[in-house]
Every structure is written in structure tokens, then in C-alpha cells.
Amino acid sequence: MQAARGTSLSDATNSHPAGPTSSRRARLTALFAVVALAAYAVDLGTKLLAVSRLSGRPDVSVVGELLVLHLTRNPGAAFSTGTEYTVALTCVALVAVVVVVHLSRRLGSVGWAVALGLLLAGVAGNLTDRLFREPGPFRGHVIDFLMLPHWPVFNVADMCINAAAVIILVQASRGIRINGMPTSDRREESA
């Protein structure tokens, strides 16, 4: 059967012009929260283990030279850039957390829920270090401990941020907005 303008009834009943139903949005928000909390916990746990087991010790080879555990404390951003801007980076991270939480209120897609959950976990994980680690609040150094050949030392939070970026690029290339609606959807304009 066909609905108006050649759209199938199944499409018409599954997608509302305003976006997902409140129960679907609640499930997506729960998914976002679970991903964020789980990834954040893994990041914090691995950093605690790295500090307790690697402090004052030589590098630990996990997979030959492919993966080495090397504890470092990073005052800067990615690739240890901007080491003199630790306080500014902390403020940017605080704003990023607020923005991601605000954007999560509009979730309409599983991909975006996972991406924003990972992004929140990654930003919050490194922000936690900046707020609570030495040398003090807003100046704390991020714990990095994973080292690959020809790559800067990183942590689980960095992996979460990069995975989120990939998923966001995939969602954007597929034309899916945060609210789950396709970017080519013109229903909003005609309403």
C-alpha cells in the first residue's frame, strides 16, 4: 500500500516529521549515557592502573614494538602541542562537555548516540585529569600510556574522541543529522 505522494505506509508510520518519538528518544538518551559512562570508566580505570603499575618503571612491551606501555604526563593537547595553554585547554574542555550534553537532548539516531557518548567520555576523561591531577586544578597533566611506533603516546579517552570523530564523519557522509532526520529532508521547510 502507498501513502500520499508515493511514500510507503511503513515509512510514513516509522518517521514522524518532528523526528523520533519520545520513547525512542529516551532509548537513545539511555544508549548515549551508557556509552559515555562505560567508556569514561574504562578511561579512568586504565589511567589509574597505568599510574600505579608504570610509575618509575621502564617501558612494558605488550606486542613487541607495536604496542608499548609508556607512562607520560601531558600538559598540552594532542601530540603534546600547546603545553603553555593548559588552563585554556581545560576551559575549552569544560565548554565541550556542556555542548555535547546539550546536543544529546536532540538525539534521533543510534550512530549519533554512540558518537556523542564516546565524545563525552573522551573529553570528560581528559578533563578529569586536568582538574584533579598534578600540578593542580585546571593545570593538571593528562595521563597517557599507550605508545605505537611513530605515533604520540595516547590514552583511552583519546581513542574515544577519535572513534567519535569517525562515527560523526560517517553520519555526516550518510546525510544523517543528530535528530535522525536526513539532511535532504525538506519536510521542515514545507511545514
Type of residue at 3: A
Q: Which of 11, 43, 129, 144 is catalytic?
A: 144
Q: Could you tell me the sign of the dihedral formed by the alpha carbons of 143, 139, 36, 104, in that order?
A: negative
Type of residue at 137: P
Determine the Cα–Cα distance for residues 123 and 90; give it in Å rounded to an integer.
Answer: 10
Determine the Cα–Cα distance for residues 29 and 152; give it in Å rounded to an integer.
Answer: 33
Grid cell in block for residue 77: 593537547
Cβ proximity of 176 and 183 under 8 Å: yes
Is 185 tagged catalytic?
no
Is 158 tagged catalytic?
yes
Strand-strand pairing, 67-74 and 60-63: antiparallel
Q: Which of 11, 129, 158, 185 is catalytic?
A: 158
Cβ proximity of 184 and 175 under 8 Å: yes
Catalytic residue positions? 144, 158
